[in-house]
Structure 1
Amino acid sequence: MDISKKLSEQQQSVSDLIHELYNCLAQADDPKTKDIRESLMRAYQHIGQRDPVVVANKLANYLHFTGYNEKIKFTESELELITQISQIGQHAGLNGSYRAWYGDKSQF
């Protein structure tokens, strides 16, 4: 498979997951998820300019970190989307999780 085609598919996959998760959180309109929704929007806007696997990795870490610290109860569908984002992000290696502070939404 061509590398650019694979990258394009990854970008589309991550974009779709981010978009769907944002919509789920926006429907619930929980004030605790405001920062998460802002981060999802920023990640969605910049996904074409960055490696989607690294974005997925950082986003998954941010979602888990913020969800735990803010005591956010995600729904089953939201957890499934977060899990899918995490699975994509697992392939980021050192370029993902070790170069950012998990709780910093400015990384997106």
Structure 2
Amino acid sequence: MIDIEETKKIIHELYNSLMKRDKTKAILDITDVLLQVYKKIDSEKYPEILINKMVNYIYIVGFDNKIHFLGNDEKLLIELGDISKKAGINSKYKANFTDKSQFYSYSEKVPIR
């Protein structure tokens, strides 16, 4: 089991750090996902799977858009990656990495950037 409060703290810190950057579409998409995961993590049966999807999403969107995670941002992302390892090997193959809608339920509006 993961420490939800510690995980939320890391997500919150990464969110705040990214919001200080230039707000490109990719940064806004990543921060949308961070905020959505922050809100949903308490009610998830398997939060480590949600974290795994989020970390994969951030890495793929970051790579595709040439976003560099340096210094503390890199450290925070590595910590989230370590937490996501608890999801097991198969979880990363259950989602389209670049689809932000995977973090929203059918009744929630997905922000379009």
Give the TM interval when normalised to the shorter protein. Answer: 0.7 to 0.9
Corresponding residue of 1:77:
72
Unaligned runs of 5+ in 1: 1-5
Q: How many residues align?
A: 101
Structure having the larger proportion of residues in helix = 1
Mind listing any 5+ residue stretches in structure 2 that lack a counterpart?
Answer: 104-113
In the alignment, what sits opposite 1:93?
A: 88
Residue equivalent to 1:102: 97
The match for 1:24 among 17, 35, 44 is: 17
Moved segments of 4+, more than 6 Å = none
Q: TM-score, normalised by structure 2?
A: 0.81
Letter in 2 for 1:26: M
SS for the counterpart of 2:13 is helix
User: What is the alpha-carbon distance in structure 2 between the residues aligned to residue 45 and residue 95 of structure 1?
Assistant: 24
Letter of the aligned partner of 1:85 in structure 2? Answer: L
* TM-score normalised to structure 1 length: 0.85
Structure 1 CA distance, aligned partners of 2:89 and 2:60?
18
Instruction: Give the Cα–Cα distance (whole angstroms) in 1 for the partners of residues 10 and 57 of structure 2.
Output: 15
Indicate the percent of aligned positions where both proteins have the same amino acid: 34
Aligned partners of 1:14 and 1:52 also within 8 Å: no
